[in-house]
Amino acid sequence: MKTQRIKKTPLLGLDMKKIEKARELSNSITEKVQEYIDTHTTVTIERASLRLLGADGANSDGVPVPNLIVDKLKDKVGEGISKYYINALIKTGKTIDELNKDIADGFDISTLPMLEFEKIKEKADEIIKKLDEKLEKNISYRNQKLREYSQNEKRPLIYVIVATGNIYEDVKQARASALEGADIIAVIRTTAQSLLDYVPYGATTEGFGGTYATQENFRIMRKALDEVSEKVKRYIRLVNYCSGLCMPEIAAMGALERLDMMLNDSMYGILFRDINMYRTFTDQFFSRMINCRAQIIINTGEDNYLTTSDAIEKAHTVLTSQFINESFAHRAGMPDELIGLGHAFEMNPDIKNGFLLEFAQALMAREIFPKHPLKYMPPTKFMTGNIFKGYAMNTMFNFTAKATGQTIQLLGMLTEAIHTPYIQDRFLAIENALYVHNNMADFLNDIEIKKDGIMAKRARQVLDEAVELLEEVNRIGLFEAIERGMFADIKRPKDGGKGLDGVFEKKNDYYNPVEDYLKKKLNIIKVKSEKVRK
C-alpha cells in the first residue's frame, strides 16, 4: 500500500543514536517473548488455520464449525488440528462445503482413522495453493483500485467509525460518510465480543455499542464500500478489530474478505481486556502473519494508554509501546509500511501550551517512524457534553494531524462524551477535517522548529524517558513489566486473565500447514517442522 514518506529533513533534531538504541532494546525485549510464542499454539490459532483451509458455518445453536472441530480434539491441540480436518476431507471424499455442513450437523471428524502424513500434506498443499491465489487476488484488486484512484488519495486518510449494532444500518452510515469524504470505515465491535472465544456466524442486526464482527458482516460492508468507491473515485478502506480472544480468526476472516486495516495490538488485550498475556502474545504473532500476507495494515492501540494514564506524564509509555509493537510486527514479517502505530491527542485542554506538547509528540512519532502509516487518535478523555468546545478541540486536533504528517486520522466526534455518533456528527467531523487539511496543506514544508524551544525539548525528553523505560523492561522482561503495571498503570498477573486454558505447548510432531505456508511466504524463518516431522 502507498504510504507517505517524509521527504524533508527531521525538524526536531532527535538523536538518531538514541532511536537506534530504543530499537535494539525492543528487539531484545521481544526476542525473549518470541521464544515462548514459537513453541506454543492456541485454540484460536488452530481455528484460524481451519478457517483459512475452508472450515466455515455453524450448528443450529450458533456454535461455529471451527469451534466444533477444535472442541472435539481439545487434547490434540498440541499436535495441530488442521491435519484432522484434511484427513476428514480425504477420507469422506466430500467437498469442503459438504464436510462443513456435516460437521455442523454433528459429524465428529476426530473418530476417523488417520491417513499417512504424506497424503495429508499433499492435500494440504493443494488447499494452500488455492488460499494463496485467493489472497493474491484480494491484494491485486486493492492495489489496482488504489492505483486507479491515486490522484484522489488524501493525507491524512480520514477514518470514521460506524457503530449502530445493525450491519444494514451501518452500511447506510458508512456510505454517507464516504460520500462526505471519509476514506476509511471502521465497524466498531459490540462491547462484549473481545471476550467471546468464538466468532459469531452470519449477518447480525443486534449489538451494544457496536456490531458483531462476523464474516458475513465483513462481506456485506465490503460490497457496499466497493460500490461507493466507484462513485467517489476513492478506494474506501474497511477496518475491523483483530483483538480479543479470537485475534487470529478475525485476521483470517479479514484476509479472506479483503479488509484493509485491522486494529491489532500486541498488548492491548492484556491490559484493557484482561486477556492472559501468554495467550495474547501467541495470538498476536499468528494474526500478524496473516495480516502481513494479506497486506492488511495493522493499527496498534497506544492511544488507549492515555485514557487511563496522564497524557503528559506517561507520553513515553506510548513511545515505548510503539517500539515494542514495531518489533513484534517485524518478527511476524511485517514491513514498516504495514505497521500503523497508534498515538493520541489526549491532553487536558486547560494546560498552558498543551498544544505545543501535543504537536511535539505527534511530530516526534512521525520522525521516529517515518515509513509507518501512523494512526492518530482524537481527544476523548476531556470531551464533555459541551459539543461546541469539543468541536473546537477537534479543530486543534485536525490541525496537528495535518501539520505533523500523520497517515491515518481517526476523526474526533463532537458528541464523543454523549453517544455513538449520529449521522450528522460524522458529517460535521469530516467537514471540519477537510477544511483544516486543505487550508494548511503545505504547512509542514514551510516551518522550522526552534532548536531549543518548548517543542524540540519536549520531544527529546519523551524519547529519553522511553529509552530509560525500555532499558528497565529489558532488564526485568516484558512479562514482569506488565505484572508491575508499567504500561497504562494497569497490572496483570502472568497466569491471570482470560484464555490461558486455550494455550498449548507444541508437540514435536506439531503440524500446521497454514503456519508453514505463512512463515515460508513471509520469509520469517526456515520452516523447522519439515525436519522434525517423521
Partner 1 sequence: MKLVRPYGDTLNDGAMQLSFTLPIPYGRKAKECAKLYLEKLGFKTADIVHMAELSEEFTFFIAYAKTDVSIDYDSVEYTPAIDKAMTMDEVNQFIKEKIKRKVVVIGATTGFDAHTVGIDAIMNMKGYNHHFGLERYPMIEALNMGAQVPNEKLIEMAKKINADAILISQVVTQKDAHIKNLTNFIELIEAENLRKRFILIVGGPRINNKLAVELGFDAGFGPGTYAEDVATFIVKKLYEKMINK
Interacting residues with partner 1 (CB under 8 A): 165, 172, 175-176, 179-180, 190-192, 194-195, 208-209, 272-274, 307-308, 310, 348, 350, 380-382, 384-385, 417-420, 422-424, 427, 431
The secondary element (H helix, E strand) that includes residue 439 is helix 423-439
CA–CA dist 140, 152 (Å, integer): 19
C-alpha cell at 94: 466430500
User: Residue 284 CB, nearest distance to partner 1 (Å)?
Assistant: 19
CA–CA dist 214, 252 (Å, integer): 11
Give the residue with the Cβ less far from partner 1, 292 or 436.
436
Do 109 and 72 meet the contact criterion of CB atoms below 8 Å apart? yes
Give the residue with the Cβ less far from partner 1, 6 or 418.
418
Upstream peptide bond of 156 is cis (omega within 30 degrees of 0):
yes
User: Residue 137 CB, nearest distance to partner 1 (Å)?
Assistant: 30
C-alpha cell at 74: 481439545
Give the residue with the Cβ less far from partner 1, 434 or 527.
434
Give the residue with the Cβ less far from partner 1, 181 or 254.
181
- Of 260, 266, 304, 300, nearest to 286 by C-alpha is 266
Give the residue with the Cβ less far from partner 1, 87 or 299.
299
Give the residue with the Cβ less far from partner 1, 61 or 350.
350
CA–CA dist 147, 145 (Å, integer): 5
Identify the DSSP state of 411.
P
Contacts of 180 (CB under 8 A, 6+ apart): 426, 427, 430, 431
List, by residue number, the catalytic residues: 268, 303, 375
Give the residue with the Cβ less far from partner 1, 418 or 500.
418
Count of residues making up the chain: 534
DSSP symbols for 495-510: T-SB-GGGEEEPPTT-
Sort strands 503-505 and 40-42 into parallel, antiparallel or unpaired. Answer: antiparallel
What burial class does residue 209 get, using C-beta atoms within 10 Å of its C-beta: 0-12 exposed, 13-18 middle, 19+ buried?
middle
User: Residue 406 CB, nearest distance to partner 1 (Å)?
Assistant: 24
User: Residue 209 CB, nearest distance to partner 1 (Å)?
Assistant: 5
Angle at 462 between CA 459 and CA 465, to 5 degrees: 150
C-alpha cell at 489: 498503570
| Cα first-last separation, the chain | 41
Give the residue with the Cβ less far from partner 1, 191 or 445.
191
CA–CA dist 410, 182 (Å, integer): 10
Contacts of 17 (CB under 8 A, 6+ apart): none
Half-sphere exposure of 188 (CA within 13 A, CB side): 15
CA–CA dist 175, 342 (Å, integer): 26
Contacts of 219 (CB under 8 A, 6+ apart): 257
User: Residue 194 CB, nearest distance to partner 1 (Å)?
Assistant: 8
